[in-house]
């Protein structure tokens, strides 16, 4: 039986590949469970410094599995319990990405729609191939993308998100970069290599500093200005006391490579 989520590790970088190409890597119950388990394992894996999330086949991710969702309606409650549980499980996966110690980079091609666009917006960074289309297009079938909009509205300007949500229109990779949904746009042939270069750049840094910085990044976003400075000041003061930070500063001043232990 083919695994629906593949993991490959190399050079401190873990690559997770959504592997349901025949279903455009839709987030089925099994896919959500596999993602949640993989992220939980990665959170405990000190060898991994960066995670890349990609999709097999011709698309990154087409969102929830609509056929599976329709089947859920067969219950006596017409699917009420199933749908509530489904969106809660999906929310758990999306929240596990920013809380993961390692930075997560989405490698996007083809389409990223509805919960697939939510997945991109939930990642810390994203690289997309030219020609990729992004949309929260549930409104086109009568289902407003209410949970995808949580991640989307935290990644792009409010009016851009509202237009996407209410029209169901797609944006291309250039527009996605312009509004901040993704970081880079590259030719399709260069997608994997460019994503890998970005991952290697992050992986080359002091892992403990990146992990601490990622946590502080998300912690301070929801705070007021003064509280954010208090919170991040405490983080930096602690960071300055690390042996590897002292070594990194000394190495910079002495124009040599730092001898980091982690």
Average pLDDT of adjacent 10-residue blocks, the chain of 262 residues: 92 97 97 97 96 98 94 91 96 98 98 98 98 97 96 97 98 98 98 98 95 96 94 95 94 93 79
Under DSSP, the state recorded for 223 is S
Q: Tell me what pLDDT residue 62 has.
A: 97
Q: Tell me what pLDDT residue 57 has.
A: 97
For residue 85, which phi and psi values (nearest 5 degrees)? -65, -40
Q: Tell me what pLDDT residue 2 has.
A: 79
Q: Tell me what pLDDT residue 262 has.
A: 74
- Token pair 């460019």: residue: 194
Taking the C-alpha atoms of residue 192 and residue 54, their distance in angstroms, rounded to an integer, is: 9
pTM (two decimals): 0.95
What's the Cα-to-Cα distance from 246 to each of 203, 243, 255, rounded to whole Å?
Answer: 19, 5, 14
In this structure, which long-range contacts are made by residues 143-147, counting pairs with CB atoms below 8 Å and at least 24 apart in sequence?
145/114, 145/115, 145/117, 145/118, 147/87, 147/90, 147/91, 147/94, 147/115, 147/118
Q: Tell me what pLDDT residue 14 has.
A: 98
Q: Tell me what pLDDT residue 1 has.
A: 64
What's the Cα-to-Cα distance from 229 to each of 213, 216, 235, rounded to whole Å?
Answer: 14, 11, 10
């Amino acid at each position: 039986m083919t695994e629906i989520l593949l993991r490959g590790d190399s050079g401190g970088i873990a690559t997770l590949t959504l592997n349901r190409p025949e279903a455009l890597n839709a987030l089925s119950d099994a896919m959500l469970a596999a993602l949640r388990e993989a992220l939980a394992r990665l959170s405990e894996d000190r060898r991994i410094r960066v995670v890349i999330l990609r999709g097999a086949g011709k698309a990154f991710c087409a969102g929830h599995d609509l056929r599976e969702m329709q089947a859920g309606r067969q219950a006596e409650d017409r699917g009420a319990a199933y749908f509530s549980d489904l969106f809660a499980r999906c929310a758990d996966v999306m929240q596990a990405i920013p809380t993961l110690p390692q930075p997560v980079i989405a490698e996007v091609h083809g389409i990223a729609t509805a919960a697939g666009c939510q997945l991109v917006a939930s990642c810390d960074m994203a690289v997309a191939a030219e020609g990729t289309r992004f949309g929260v297009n549930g409104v086109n079938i009568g289902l407003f993308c209410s949970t995808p909009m949580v991640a989307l509205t935290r990644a792009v300007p409010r009016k851009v998100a509202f237009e996407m949500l209410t029209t169901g229109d797609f944006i291309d990779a250039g527009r996605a970069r312009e509004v901040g949904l993704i970081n880079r746009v590259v030719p399709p042939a260069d997608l994997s290599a460019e994503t890998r270069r970005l991952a290697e750049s992050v992986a080359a840094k002091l892992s403990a500093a990146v992990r601490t910085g990622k946590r502080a990044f998300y912690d301070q976003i929801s705070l007021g200005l003064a509280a954010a400075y208090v919170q991040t000041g405490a983080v930096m003061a602690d960071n300055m006391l690390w042996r590897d930070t002292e070594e990194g500063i000394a190495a910079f001043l002495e124009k040599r490579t730092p001898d980091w232990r982690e």
